[in-house]
Amino acid sequence: MFNRLQQKWKVNGLQVALILSTFAIGGSLTGYVGRKLMNLFDIGPEWLWIVVYILLVTLLWPLAVLVVSIPFGQFRFFIRYLKKMGRRMGIISRESGVGSRELGAVKRIAIFASGAGSNAQKIIDHFREKSQVEIALIVCNKPGAGVLEIAEKEGIPALLIEKERFFRGDAYIQVLKEKNIDLIVLAGFLWKIPVALIRAYPGKIVNIHPALLPKYGGKGMYGQFVHAAVIAAGEKESGITIHYVDEHYDHGDVIFQASCPVEVGDTVAVLAKRIHELEHKYFPVVVEELIMRMDK
């Protein structure tokens, strides 16, 4: 159980112990204070006493765990945790402040992904403590994709899109506008972006490609196919390219590139691992730099 909680909360073993202690002590404190407060009032029927007590402890519990979390050093964790619970229960809306687009307003990112979502997770982790950026939506085109599990775990709304509406309908532009999305980040998204969406978000859609463009780009060049082509061509280096998205596959202006060697005897899996390390290291940082430029 300990290991599962570490993975779910993205914390170390000591933090799990401190968090569980905060839950336990906060719960006990809630019950104690709740009973003390109830004793101050003369509430007649037993059923009414129970109802009022439940409502009271429901209100007291968030405050109690926040107070207890301070000496345990877990205040930030519980702030995030309570916000996530509020969103899931519909108490806190992710749309609060919709329409506010003044300088310094929170920038909202939509991540498009088709697979396991390792890059999406790195981006979420990177912005977890940054109050001026919100991962507001996960968009996916594959039911059962791992990125949808990430969205559920992180309490981020997910949108499962279908091909007809994406390519021949409104491309979900209305949904993105309603969410006040500022930047679209493609993190392993395998569908070509329709022209309508590109025009709705000019210069606001970025993609990461697992090779040094303009080499090894274009239709069908993704994932293992890219790495296999690089190895087959005898290239001495490969890398990543982060670029703006235009009407053509892997064609928009380059924002950033980083390279790594292709060693003799490399397999597709070995090279893919090296490329993933570059993606995880640089993609979140470059996305943050793009967000910062949006206020200038």
Q: List pLDDT tens digits, range 37-72.
A: 988 888 878 888 889 999 999 999 999 999 999 998
Residue 120: its H or E element: helix 118-126
**Measuring CA to CA, which residue among 88, 85, 73 is closest to residue 17?**
73
Q: What is the pLDDT of residues 241-283, one digit of tens each?
A: 999 999 988 889 999 999 999 999 999 999 999 999 999 999 9
- Phi/psi at 24 (5° precision): -65, -50
Helix 268-293 to helix 224-232 angle (10° resolution) is: 120
- Phi/psi at 85 (5° precision): -65, -40
Residue 65: its H or E element: helix 46-72
State mean pLDDT over 102-125. 88
Residue 288 and residue 270: Cα distance in Å, rounded?
A: 28
Q: Is 14 helix (H, G, I), strand (E, B) or coil?
A: helix
Higher pLDDT, 82 or 6: 82
Q: What is the dihedral of CA 59, 65, 68, 73, to 10 degrees?
A: -140
pTM for this prediction: 0.68
Homologous superfamily of domain range 107-293: Formyl transferase, N-terminal domain (3.40.50.170)
Question: What does the block give as tokens for 193?
Answer: 């972006």
Instruction: Please list the residue range(s) of the chain that carry CATH number 3.40.50.170.
Output: 107-293
State mean pLDDT over 107-123. 95
Q: In this structure, are strands 205-209 and 183-186 parallel, antiparallel, or unpaired?
A: parallel
pLDDT at residue 292 is higher than 80: yes
Whole-number average pLDDT of the chain: 88
Exposure pattern of 156-179 as b/e (b: 16+ CB <10 Å)? bbbbebeeeebbeeebbbebbeeb
Residue 208 and residue 256: Cα distance in Å, rounded?
A: 9
Do 239 and 274 form a contact (C-beta atoms < 8 A)? no
Q: Is 107 helix (H, G, I), strand (E, B) or coil?
A: strand
pLDDT at residue 103 is higher than 70: no
Q: Which position among 126, 209, 251, 280 bears the catalytic label? A: 209
Residue 134 and residue 120: Cα distance in Å, rounded?
A: 13
pLDDT at residue 104 is higher than 90: no
Provide the pLDDT for residue 111: 98
Do 291 and 185 form a contact (C-beta atoms < 8 A)? no
- Phi/psi at 57 (5° precision): -70, -30
Q: Binning pLDDT at 50, 70 and 90, where does residue 293 land?
A: confident
Q: Binning pLDDT at 50, 70 and 90, where does residue 288 land?
A: very high
DSSP class of 196: H
Residue 117 and residue 138: Cα distance in Å, rounded?
A: 10
Residue 207: its H or E element: strand 205-209
Q: What is the pLDDT of residues 10-23, one digit of tens each?
A: 667 788 889 999 99
Do 80 and 131 form a contact (C-beta atoms < 8 A)? no
Question: What does the block give as tokens for 255?
Answer: 């924002």
Which residues have a Cβ under 8 Å from the Cβ of 64 and sit 6 or more positions away? 26, 27, 29, 30, 33
Provide the pLDDT for residue 1: 67
Q: Is omega for the bond preceding 210 within 30 degrees of 0, making it cis? A: no
251 is catalytic: no
